[in-house]
Amino acid sequence: MLETLNTRRSVRAFKSDPIPEKYIRDILEAAMNAPSAGDERAWQFVILKEQALREEYAKLNRNVPSIRQSPVAIVICGDTSREKYPGLYVYDCGAATENILLAIHAKGLGGFWGHVFPETVANNRTLLNLPEYIIPYSVVPFGIPLNGLPPAKTRYDESRIHLNGW
Ligand SMILES: Cc1cc2nc3c(=O)[nH]c(=O)nc-3n(C[C@H](O)[C@H](O)[C@H](O)COP(=O)(O)O)c2cc1C
Protein backbone atom coordinates (compact mmCIF):
# COMPACT_ATOMS: atom_id res chain seq x y z
CA MET A 1 0.00 0.00 0.00
CA LEU A 2 2.70 2.52 0.99
CA GLU A 3 4.58 1.57 -2.15
CA THR A 4 1.53 2.54 -4.22
CA LEU A 5 1.10 5.84 -2.35
CA ASN A 6 4.76 6.80 -2.64
CA THR A 7 5.32 5.89 -6.29
CA ARG A 8 2.20 7.42 -7.91
CA ARG A 9 3.04 10.10 -10.45
CA SER A 10 1.01 11.97 -13.05
CA VAL A 11 0.98 10.38 -16.49
CA ARG A 12 -0.22 12.53 -19.42
CA ALA A 13 0.71 10.46 -22.50
CA PHE A 14 -1.18 7.27 -23.31
CA LYS A 15 -1.35 4.34 -25.68
CA SER A 16 -4.68 4.04 -27.47
CA ASP A 17 -5.36 0.49 -26.18
CA PRO A 18 -8.81 0.23 -24.58
CA ILE A 19 -9.02 -0.40 -20.84
CA PRO A 20 -10.91 -3.56 -19.77
CA GLU A 21 -14.31 -2.93 -18.17
CA LYS A 22 -13.25 -4.87 -15.08
CA TYR A 23 -10.42 -2.39 -14.50
CA ILE A 24 -12.77 0.56 -14.84
CA ARG A 25 -15.21 -1.05 -12.42
CA ASP A 26 -12.44 -1.72 -9.88
CA ILE A 27 -11.24 1.88 -10.15
CA LEU A 28 -14.80 3.16 -9.60
CA GLU A 29 -15.23 0.84 -6.62
CA ALA A 30 -12.10 2.34 -5.06
CA ALA A 31 -13.54 5.81 -5.73
CA MET A 32 -16.80 4.94 -4.02
CA ASN A 33 -15.00 3.50 -0.99
CA ALA A 34 -13.35 6.85 -0.27
CA PRO A 35 -14.29 8.59 2.96
CA SER A 36 -17.00 11.24 2.75
CA ALA A 37 -18.60 13.69 5.16
CA GLY A 38 -21.08 11.75 7.30
CA ASP A 39 -20.86 9.01 4.66
CA GLU A 40 -22.90 11.28 2.38
CA ARG A 41 -21.04 10.15 -0.77
CA ALA A 42 -21.99 13.34 -2.59
CA TRP A 43 -20.43 12.21 -5.86
CA GLN A 44 -21.32 10.94 -9.31
CA PHE A 45 -18.98 9.69 -12.03
CA VAL A 46 -19.30 10.32 -15.75
CA ILE A 47 -17.24 8.00 -17.94
CA LEU A 48 -15.95 9.46 -21.20
CA LYS A 49 -14.97 6.97 -23.87
CA GLU A 50 -16.17 8.40 -27.17
CA GLN A 51 -13.28 10.02 -29.02
CA ALA A 52 -15.46 12.87 -30.34
CA LEU A 53 -16.64 13.68 -26.82
CA ARG A 54 -13.10 13.69 -25.43
CA GLU A 55 -12.05 16.00 -28.28
CA GLU A 56 -14.85 18.40 -27.34
CA TYR A 57 -13.90 18.11 -23.68
CA ALA A 58 -10.30 19.06 -24.50
CA LYS A 59 -11.50 22.11 -26.46
CA LEU A 60 -13.54 23.34 -23.49
CA ASN A 61 -10.91 22.48 -20.85
CA ARG A 62 -7.52 23.64 -22.16
CA ASN A 63 -5.74 22.30 -19.06
CA VAL A 64 -6.29 18.63 -20.01
CA PRO A 65 -5.17 18.31 -23.66
CA SER A 66 -4.11 14.68 -23.27
CA ILE A 67 -7.74 13.63 -22.70
CA ARG A 68 -7.74 13.43 -26.51
CA GLN A 69 -5.25 10.58 -26.28
CA SER A 70 -6.46 8.67 -23.22
CA PRO A 71 -8.89 5.86 -24.13
CA VAL A 72 -11.06 6.71 -21.12
CA ALA A 73 -11.57 9.47 -18.59
CA ILE A 74 -13.68 9.81 -15.47
CA VAL A 75 -15.32 13.14 -14.66
CA ILE A 76 -15.84 13.29 -10.90
CA CYS A 77 -18.90 15.37 -10.08
CA GLY A 78 -20.36 16.72 -6.85
CA ASP A 79 -23.99 15.77 -6.23
CA THR A 80 -25.42 18.58 -4.15
CA SER A 81 -28.72 16.71 -3.76
CA ARG A 82 -26.89 14.14 -1.63
CA GLU A 83 -25.07 16.53 0.65
CA LYS A 84 -25.78 16.28 4.38
CA TYR A 85 -23.39 19.17 4.98
CA PRO A 86 -23.66 21.85 2.28
CA GLY A 87 -20.37 22.54 0.54
CA LEU A 88 -18.57 19.42 1.73
CA TYR A 89 -18.97 17.64 -1.60
CA VAL A 90 -15.58 19.14 -2.52
CA TYR A 91 -13.87 17.01 0.10
CA ASP A 92 -15.83 13.88 -0.84
CA CYS A 93 -14.87 14.38 -4.48
CA GLY A 94 -11.25 15.13 -3.59
CA ALA A 95 -10.99 11.88 -1.65
CA ALA A 96 -12.67 9.98 -4.50
CA THR A 97 -10.33 11.56 -7.06
CA GLU A 98 -7.27 10.53 -5.08
CA ASN A 99 -8.59 6.97 -4.68
CA ILE A 100 -9.10 6.85 -8.45
CA LEU A 101 -5.50 7.92 -9.06
CA LEU A 102 -4.18 5.34 -6.60
CA ALA A 103 -6.32 2.53 -8.06
CA ILE A 104 -5.13 3.46 -11.57
CA HIS A 105 -1.54 3.28 -10.36
CA ALA A 106 -2.14 -0.02 -8.53
CA LYS A 107 -3.37 -1.49 -11.84
CA GLY A 108 -0.14 -0.45 -13.60
CA LEU A 109 -1.98 2.24 -15.56
CA GLY A 110 -1.34 5.97 -15.54
CA GLY A 111 -3.49 9.06 -15.25
CA PHE A 112 -3.62 12.52 -13.77
CA TRP A 113 -5.90 14.85 -11.84
CA GLY A 114 -7.36 17.51 -14.11
CA HIS A 115 -9.03 20.51 -12.56
CA VAL A 116 -12.44 21.78 -13.65
CA PHE A 117 -12.10 25.55 -13.51
CA PRO A 118 -15.17 27.54 -12.36
CA GLU A 119 -15.41 29.33 -15.70
CA THR A 120 -15.80 26.02 -17.56
CA VAL A 121 -18.46 24.50 -15.27
CA ALA A 122 -21.43 25.74 -17.31
CA ASN A 123 -19.96 24.49 -20.60
CA ASN A 124 -19.02 21.16 -19.02
CA ARG A 125 -22.58 20.85 -17.79
CA THR A 126 -23.95 21.42 -21.28
CA LEU A 127 -21.47 19.07 -22.98
CA LEU A 128 -22.11 16.23 -20.52
CA ASN A 129 -25.82 16.90 -20.10
CA LEU A 130 -25.47 17.32 -16.33
CA PRO A 131 -28.46 18.43 -14.24
CA GLU A 132 -28.17 21.74 -12.34
CA TYR A 133 -27.51 20.04 -8.99
CA ILE A 134 -24.46 18.20 -10.39
CA ILE A 135 -21.18 20.12 -10.31
CA PRO A 136 -18.23 18.83 -12.35
CA TYR A 137 -15.27 18.77 -9.96
CA SER A 138 -12.28 17.04 -11.56
CA VAL A 139 -11.44 14.82 -14.48
CA VAL A 140 -9.02 11.89 -14.55
CA PRO A 141 -7.93 10.79 -18.03
CA PHE A 142 -6.14 7.44 -17.87
CA GLY A 143 -4.76 4.56 -19.88
CA ILE A 144 -1.62 2.58 -20.50
CA PRO A 145 1.34 4.97 -20.17
CA LEU A 146 2.94 5.69 -23.54
CA ASN A 147 6.43 6.14 -22.08
CA GLY A 148 6.25 4.03 -18.93
CA LEU A 149 5.81 5.54 -15.50
CA PRO A 150 7.70 8.65 -14.40
CA PRO A 151 10.26 7.84 -11.70
CA ALA A 152 9.04 8.01 -8.11
CA LYS A 153 10.40 10.90 -6.11
CA THR A 154 9.90 11.51 -2.44
CA ARG A 155 8.85 14.98 -1.38
CA TYR A 156 9.11 14.24 2.30
CA ASP A 157 10.06 17.52 3.96
CA GLU A 158 10.74 17.73 7.68
CA SER A 159 10.40 21.51 7.62
CA ARG A 160 6.63 21.05 7.11
CA ILE A 161 6.23 19.10 10.34
CA HIS A 162 5.44 20.89 13.61
CA LEU A 163 5.55 18.85 16.79
CA ASN A 164 2.98 19.67 19.48
CA GLY A 165 1.94 22.93 17.82
CA TRP A 166 3.72 25.39 15.48
C1 LIG B 1 -6.29 20.06 -7.31
C2 LIG B 1 -5.37 19.61 -8.43
C3 LIG B 1 -5.56 20.14 -9.69
C4 LIG B 1 -4.74 19.72 -10.74
N5 LIG B 1 -5.03 20.18 -12.00
C6 LIG B 1 -4.30 19.74 -13.05
C7 LIG B 1 -4.67 20.13 -14.37
O8 LIG B 1 -5.63 20.85 -14.59
N9 LIG B 1 -3.91 19.66 -15.39
C10 LIG B 1 -2.84 18.84 -15.18
O11 LIG B 1 -2.19 18.44 -16.16
N12 LIG B 1 -2.48 18.43 -13.92
C13 LIG B 1 -3.19 18.86 -12.86
N14 LIG B 1 -2.89 18.41 -11.59
C15 LIG B 1 -1.76 17.47 -11.38
C16 LIG B 1 -0.54 18.16 -10.76
O17 LIG B 1 0.06 19.00 -11.70
C18 LIG B 1 0.45 17.09 -10.25
O19 LIG B 1 -0.18 16.23 -9.34
C20 LIG B 1 1.66 17.73 -9.57
O21 LIG B 1 2.43 18.47 -10.50
C22 LIG B 1 2.57 16.72 -8.88
O23 LIG B 1 3.06 15.76 -9.80
P24 LIG B 1 2.78 14.20 -9.62
O25 LIG B 1 1.27 14.00 -9.70
O26 LIG B 1 3.51 13.52 -10.74
O27 LIG B 1 3.28 13.78 -8.27
C28 LIG B 1 -3.70 18.80 -10.53
C29 LIG B 1 -3.52 18.27 -9.24
C30 LIG B 1 -4.37 18.64 -8.22
C31 LIG B 1 -4.20 18.01 -6.85
Express each pLDDT in 98-153 by its tens digit.
999 999 999 999 999 999 999 999 999 999 999 999 999 999 999 999 999 999 98
Supply the pTM of this predicted model: 0.97
Is the shortest distance between the CB of 6 and ligand 1 below 6 Å? no
Could you tell me the domains of the chain? 25-145 (3.40.109.10)
For residue 65 and ligand 1, the question of a CB distance below 6 A is answered with no
Q: Which helix (H) or strand (E) holds 110?
A: strand 110-111
Work out whether strand 110-111 and strand 134-143 pair parallel, antiparallel, or are unpaired. Answer: antiparallel
Per-residue pLDDT at 73: 98
> Mind spelling out the 3-state secondary structure of 7-72?
HCCCCCCECCCCCCHHHHHHHHHHHHCCCCHHHCCCEEEEEECCHHHHHHHHHHCCCCHHHHCCCE
Q: Is 45 in the pocket of ligand 1 (CB under 6 A)?
A: no
